[in-house]
Structure 1
C-alpha cells in the first residue's frame, strides 16, 4: 500500500518533533553457499526472524515506523519537512492509508513474493497526491465454480480490509498473480476501483508456453538491469515486436521435468512445500535463486531480499494452495482475463519488462478487447532493462510510468 506523506508538527522547541529511534536490527546473514551455512540459516528460521526480514526492507523507506517496542530514552529530532508516517493498523504493511485519501492506492504482490518487494517503489509513489487455509470443494470439470471459490479466498479478504480501513475507492497496482487478483476484484466490485495498473500480470492470455514456476526460477538478472541507474523510459511496443516475442516463446518439446511439473501442478502441489521439505538444504537452494536473479542489487539489498524470500517460502502455507485452481498448467488462467476485461469501464495499464517471461501479447489482446467493448482507456507499456520483477530491475522507469498512469485522465466518463 502506498504511503501518504504527512507534514510533522513542530515540537515545543519549534525546531522539530521527537520520535522514537527504530530499535536496532541485526543485518541479514550472508546468502548460504555451503551446507554448514545453510544449516545455520535453517536453524535460525522463526516467525520473529520472518518479521525482521520484512522490516529490513521497509527500513529503506524514509517514513517507515517500526511497530516493534523501543526504549523511550532513544530519540532523535526530525525537521518539519521530513516525511513521517503513522501506520493505521498494527501491521507495517499499511502506511498512512486513511478514509480521507481518495482514492487510496493499494499494491498487491505476486505469487511467491510479498509486499516488501516494493521497497524501491513506496517512496516515489508516496509523493503522488497524498493464516487461514482455503477450503475449496469442486468438481474438476466445473471450472467456473472452482475459479470463483479460489478467487473469493483472496478477493473477499481484500474487500474486508477495504471496509475496515474505511476506503471508498482504490487504485490497484498488482504484480503477477497480484495483477490477476486486482482485475478479478475490479470485476466483482467495480464501484470500488478507480483504475488498474498491472505489472507483468499473470493469467491474461489464453495460452502460455511453460509453467510459471519453472520460468520464474530459471529467470536471471535481465541484461541492462541496474537498479536506480537505468534512465531509459518506458515505451509503447509496436505490434510487430509483440507478435515476434509471442512467437519466440512457443516450445514444441517439453522436457521430462516440465511434464512432471505440469502433472504436479494439477495435483495441487506447491513448490514451497518442496522447499520446506528440503529442511536445512532449503536456504542454500533459495540462495542460489536469489543470487542469480537479484544479483544486480547492492550486496546488502540482495542479502535482505534473499532473507525475505526464504522466510516467505518456509512460512505456513495459505493462499498458495489456491493458485492451481486459478491457473492451469502453463501459467495461464483457467478463466483468462483477456475474455473478461470487456466488462471493465476504468483505465487499465498493462506493463511488462522487455525481457519478461510473461507474454505482452495477452496485454495487447486485452487492450483491443476493451476498445471493442467501448473502453478506449487500455494501455500497453514496456520497461527497458527489466524482467518479470520490473519494479526491482528498473525502478526509476517503473515508478515514473506508474505515476504517469495514475495521473492519466480517462478519455471517457466511467
Structure 2
C-alpha cells in the first residue's frame, strides 16, 4: 500500500515507493562492498539513479516556495547527439555520444488521486516527451552538475523547480560524466600549441555538446543553471550562444577569479609542451577540488555572512600534503575508486558518510550507491578538466573579464560555508553590464542545494517567477 501524507482523515499527497527497485547493498561490511563492486554495470548505474530520483518528492519542503503542489511526470531520456534517430544501437562505446537527461514537467490533466511524482521508465522517445510537456510548459530550466557529480545530485531540488507554473525542467549529465556515454578523450597535437589553444578546445568540447543537445531536444531558449565546473562551462556556453540563454544561474561556479600573486596556472615546465604537462596532470584536478571540499568546517550555528562588495583580496589556496602527493604521482580519487576494487566503494562511502552526515541513513546510502556507480564508470570527461583548471582549482583562462561580455541577467548562488569564494562574484559584478545578484545560502557548503535545499529552492523559485 502506498504511504501518504494526510490532511485529517483524507489522503492528499502520495509519496513515491522504492519497493519495485532492488534495495541498496548497505555499505556496512567488506562483504557488502565486495558485492557492490562485483555487480556494478550500466544497469546498476541506472537503478542507482532511479532510486535516488525517487526521493524527488519527500514532503512539503519539496515545494515550500509554492502554495499548492502540482503532480509531475519525470522521464529519463537518452539523447543521441550523432544519430538522426532517438534509439541507440550497438556501436563502439568509445565513440558513443549520448547525453543522459532527466525531463520533468507538470502532468497534463492530472487525476484527483494521481501521485505527486510519477517516474516513468527510461525512454529514448524525446519528441513525444517534449510534445506532452508543451501542453503545460512554455519556459525551460536546464540544470548542469559539477565535476565528479551527476544530475542525481539535484534530487532535493528538481521537484520544487518543476512546480513553477509554465516551466519544464531538464537536468543533464555532461558528455563523459554521470550516466552519459564515456567517449575516449583524446587531444590532437598542434604545432606551436599554447595553453589558450588547449583551453579553447576543451571549452568548445563541452559547449558544443550542450548546443547539440539543445538542438536535439528542440529548445529555443532556456534559463541555464550550472554548479561548480558546470557553472564554468555554462558561462562559456552563454558567452558563445547568448541568444539561447534568457538567464544564467551560476551555483558556486569555478574559474572566475584571477589567481593571486605567486600562482601561475599556465606556467610551463622546462622542455615540456602544455599537452605533455596535461598528459601528466590531467587526472589530478579532482584531488585539488576534493581536498578543499571534503575538509570544509560546516558550522550550522554560525551566522550568515553578507555578500559585501568590499572584500579583501583572495588568498592562494593551500593544498594539503596528501593532495600534492596524489598530484605528483598522477593519481586521482576517481582512479583510486576504479582500480581499488572493493576498496573503491569504501572510499566513496567514507566521503558521503562524512560530507552528507546530516542525511537520513537510507537516503545517504542511496547517494553513496549512485556516486559510486558514476565514479567507477570508465574515465572520460574528467581527463579534460586539468586543461581548464590548474592545481588549486584556479582557471588557466579565468572567466573574470570574460563575464563582462554576458548579455543576460546573472545570478550567483554560494553556500555560506562554501570553499568557493563568493567575493570573486562581488568583484566581477562591478564590471558586468547586466543585472547581477549574489546570494548566500545559510548553513550550506559547496553542495548547498543538498545542505539547505529549502532556502536554495526558494531562491531559485524567485528567479523562475
1:112 aligns with 2:148: yes
Provide the C-alpha distance between the structure 2 equivalents of 1:95 and 1:406, rounded to a whole number of angstroms: 25
CA drift at 1:381: 1.1
Give the direction of change, closer, same or farther, for the CA distance of 1:95–1:157 in structure 2 (3 Å limit). Answer: farther
Partner in structure 1 of residue 424 of structure 2: 362
Q: CA RMSD in A?
A: 3.3
Provide the C-alpha distance between the structure 1 equivalents of 2:121 and 2:394, rounded to a whole number of angstroms: 36
Matches within 5 A, 1:219-368: 219=296, 222-224=298-300, 236-239=306-309, 242-243=311-312, 246-247=314-315, 250-251=317-318, 255-263=320-328, 270-368=332-430
What 5-or-longer segments of structure 2 have no aligned partner?
1-16, 58-71, 78-109, 167-180, 264-286
Partner in structure 1 of residue 123 of structure 2: 90
Higher relative contact order, chain-length normalized (CA < 8 Å, sep 6+): 1
Partner in structure 2 of residue 382 of structure 1: 440
Partner in structure 2 of residue 172 of structure 1: 224
CA drift at 1:66: 6.6
Greater share of strand: 2
- C-alpha distance after superposition, 1:217-269 (max 9, x if no partner): 4346x2229xxxx9x9x8851245x538x45x754xx55434334445xx6x5
Give the direction of change, closer, same or farther, for the CA distance of 1:218–1:321 in structure 2 (3 Å limit). Answer: same
For the 8 Å contact 2:227–2:252, the answer to whether it is kept is yes
For the 8 Å contact 1:93–1:115, the answer to whether it is kept is no
CA drift at 1:179: 0.7
Q: More deviation in 386-395 or 316-325? A: 316-325
Give the count of matched residue pairs: 360
For the 8 Å contact 1:105–1:172, the answer to whether it is kept is yes
Give the direction of change, closer, same or farther, for the CA distance of 1:397–1:322 in structure 2 (3 Å limit). Answer: same
Provide the C-alpha distance between the structure 1 equivalents of 2:37 and 2:378, rounded to a whole number of angstroms: 15
Greater share of helix: 1
Partner in structure 1 of residue 462 of structure 2: 404
Partner in structure 2 of residue 73 of structure 1: none
Residue 23 of structure 2 aligns to a residue whose secondary structure is coil
Partner in structure 2 of residue 158 of structure 1: 210
Give the direction of change, closer, same or farther, for the CA distance of 1:358–1:171 in structure 2 (3 Å limit). Answer: same
For the 8 Å contact 2:76–2:122, the answer to whether it is kept is no
Give the direction of change, closer, same or farther, for the CA distance of 1:23–1:152 in structure 2 (3 Å limit). Answer: farther
1:30 aligns with 2:44: no
What 5-or-longer segments of structure 1 have no aligned partner?
1-20, 69-76, 408-414
Give the direction of change, closer, same or farther, for the CA distance of 1:23–1:97 in structure 2 (3 Å limit). Answer: farther
Residue 237 of structure 1 aligns to a residue whose secondary structure is coil
CA drift at 1:285: 1.2
Question: Given the two structures, how large is their TM-score scaled by the length of structure 1?
Answer: 0.77
